[in-house]
Amino acid sequence: MFREPFVDGRCLVPADGFYEWQGGRGERRPLWFHDPAGQILSFAGLAAERDGELAFVILTTAADGIVAEVHDRMPAVLAAEAAQAWLSRGDAALLAPAPDGFVARPVSTKVNVVANDGPELLEPHEPQLKLL
């Protein structure tokens, strides 16, 4: 499924960060992982036409740094020089864990619903206390 896109469908997916959830069932809270300076991230991706529509996937790699404390996988984040190399030659060795330096903070659980959108979703969020 990925052989052909790996040869001629490599792409970059720009993002300002990514989410991982922590906590037990019914108490899961999203964390937003991002660059502390607000720099745009480049995720390694593959794109292909499927049923007449363009589709893409974001490739993942083993997590490291603070992401590894929450999840064992994370998007393959490419630095500028690695991004150019990914587009030109598609070397799988470029899909290594991202350099350290991400920060994370809790955000609204509303990020888990596709219909919700807006900058307020990324505002710092304190979990609601349960009253007994």
Between CA 106 and CA 30 the distance in angstroms is: 6
- Work out the pLDDT band at 127, boundaries 50, 70, 90: low
Strand 53-58, strand 41-50: pairing: antiparallel
Domains in the chain, start-ordered, CATH in brackets? 3-107 (3.90.1680.10)
**Residues 93, 48 contacting (CB under 8 angstroms):** no
| pLDDT over 50 (residue 81) | yes
What is the SS3 assignment for 126? coil
Which pair of tokens denotes residue 19? 């989410």
- Give the full edge-to-edge strand order of the sheet including 10-15: 10-15, 41-50, 53-58
Distance from C-alpha of 7 to C-alpha of 76, rounded to nearest angstrom: 17
The Cα–Cα gap between 56 and 26 comes to: 31
Query: Which H/E stretch holds residue 7?
Result: helix 3-8
Query: pLDDT for 39-79, tens place per residue?
Result: 999 999 998 888 899 889 999 999 988 899 999 999 999 99
pTM: 0.83
Question: What is the arithmetic mean of pLDDT over 94-122?
Answer: 85
* Pairwise CA distance, residues 83 & 91, whole Å: 11
Contact (Cβ atoms closer than 8 angstroms) between residue 58 and residue 45: yes
Question: In sequence order, what are the beta bridge partners of 45?
Answer: 11, 58
Q: Bridge partners of 46?
A: 10, 57
